[in-house]
Structure 1
């Protein structure tokens, strides 16, 4: 541990500073930082761009933590105890090596922003059963993972305003996504989507402060043609009865998704290396 890190810890402990920034300090373990996990006064802990491989269960001692930033480390697993941080509002664990989230992860009562971008998470195998009970979420960033499907339980995230699913392997979206009435940003670029559920047209995604990203998907021609004219034309088309019939037929025939775009996957891996 460097002298600078030791001094920062001492100043925070002695001065009662609620915010502790240890960005890019070559830290490999939280347990090597004396007294850190006993600083109950902390409300913000920033540890991005370090070399952490795990988070100890004693992270739960930081009972007043509201913001936890673990972006760009090498974390492979989170402890189940982390969900006992009842005051956590913002949690960034993007750019790590997670292939699953721990049991009980959906227990955060006031979590508003969750960033799990740039990991290896896939919905069917990797999300705990209560994940979609995070009803306080306003922003959910899940880009650059390995999702092929998204649970219909997404509808339970009633307060969601931003949903980023870019650069995954999504082959279809659940109709229930149309029940997210507060959604203002939906990022779907870089997946394997061919058609969109008509229910997406129920969302307010065309106002001045809204955003809908659809590029880099193998769209069927009916969507590709409208997308050339703009996303508003796509949303208008989704309301059309003929499109709804087409979509229902698409579901009933069990159309096979296109093969995985390995070139896109390689691009994702390259981006991870660049950020690291």
Structure 2
């Protein structure tokens, strides 16, 4: 453990400071930080830009933890015990090496923000069965992973305001995404999408504090032409009957999805290597 990390840990222990910042301290293992996982008063633990490969099950001992930041480490797996952090509101495990989330992960009772950006997660294989039971979730960042499909159970995230799915391999979106009535930001750029469910036209994505990103997808001409005029034109088009006919015909014919964008995937790998 570096001297800086030891000093920060000692100060937190002696002062009772509930916020512990161990960013970029060359930490390889939490075992280097004796007593850290017994500091029950800690509410915020920041460990980004280190070299952690393992999160020990004893992370569950931090019973008052509200914010956990593990961004940009080399973590390959999370312990199932992490979901017993009943006060956790913000969890950032972006820029790691996760290819799955642990069983029971969806049982966080008050989780509001989840960032799993820049990992190797794919919905059909890697998300636990209760993932979409995170009803308190307001922001879900899943960009730069390997999703091809999104479960219709996304509709259960009733409080979701931000959904980021950029730079995946998405071939299609479920119509149930239109049931996310509180959604104000939807990021879909850099996927393999050709059509959008008409139900997206029911969402409020065009206000001053809203955001709809659609670029870098192989859209059918009807969407591509409207996108040149702006996202508002796409939303208007999704609401008309002629587009609904095109959409239904497209999905009923089972068109072959476009090939994976290997150039985009190489950019993703390069970014992960550069930041690490």
Same fold (TM over 0.5): yes
Q: Given the alignment of the two structures, is residue 4 of structure 1 paired with residue 43 of structure 2, yes or no?
A: no
Look up the match of 1:83: 83
> Partner of 2:202 in structure 1?
202
Structure 2 residue 7 is the aligned partner of structure 1 residue 27: no
Shift in Å, 1:11: 1.1
- Relative to structure 2, which stretch is displaced further, 57-66 or 9-18? 9-18
How far 1:30 sits from its partner (Å)? 0.6
Q: Is residue 37 of structure 1 aligned with residue 22 of structure 2?
A: no
* Residue deviations 1:92-149 (CA, integer Å, cap 9, x gap): 0000000000000000000000000000000000000000000000000000000000
Structure 2 equivalent of residue 96 of structure 1? 96
CA distance in 1, matches of 2:137, 2:223: 30
Instruction: Tell me by how many angstroms 1:60 deviates.
Output: 0.2
Say whether the 8 Å CA contact 2:93–2:116 is kept in structure 1: yes
C-alpha displacement of 1:239:
0.6
CA distance in 2, matches of 1:116, 1:248: 32
Shift of 1:183: 0.3
- Asked if the contact 2:2–2:26 (Cα under 8 Å) also holds between the matched residues in 1, the reply is no
The aligned residue for residue 179 of structure 1 is: 179
| Shift of residue 210, structure 1, vs aligned partner | 0.4
Distance in 1 between residues matched to 2:273 and 2:15, nearest whole Å: 38
CA displacement at 1:275 relative to structure 2:
2.0
- Does the alignment pair 1:261 with 2:276? no
Mapped partners of 1:131, 1:217: distance in 2: 27
Which residue is equivalent to 1:107? Answer: 107
| Aligned match of 1:117 | 117
1:8 deviates by 1.2
Residues 27-81 of structure 1 deviation map (CA, whole Å, 9 limit, x = unaligned): 0111121100000000000000000001000000000000000000000000000
Contact 2:79 2:102 in 1 (8 A): yes
Matched, 1:166 2:166: yes
Match of 1:148 in 2: 148
Q: Describe the SS at the equivalent of 1:91.
A: strand
User: 2:271 aligns to what?
Assistant: 271
Structure 1 distance, partners of 2:242, 2:35, is 64
Once residues 2 and 274 of structure 1 are traced to their aligned partners in structure 2, the CA distance between those partners, rounded to angstroms, is 23
Q: 2:170·2:193 contact (CA, 8 Å) conserved in 1? A: yes
CA distance in 2, matches of 1:155, 1:89: 20
- Partner residue in 2 for 1:127: 127
**1:239 equivalent in structure 2:** 239
Displaced runs of 4 or more, over 3 A: none
Q: CA deviation at 1:3?
A: 1.8
What are structure 2's unaligned runs of at least 5 residues?
none
The structural deviation recorded for 1:198 is 0.2
Cross-structure match for 1:216: 216
- Measured on the aligned residues, the alpha-carbon RMSD in Å equals 0.6
Q: Report the TM-score when normalising by structure 1.
A: 0.99
* Partner secondary structure for residue 28 of structure 1: coil
Q: How high is the TM-score relative to the length of structure 2?
A: 0.99
Q: How many residues align?
A: 276
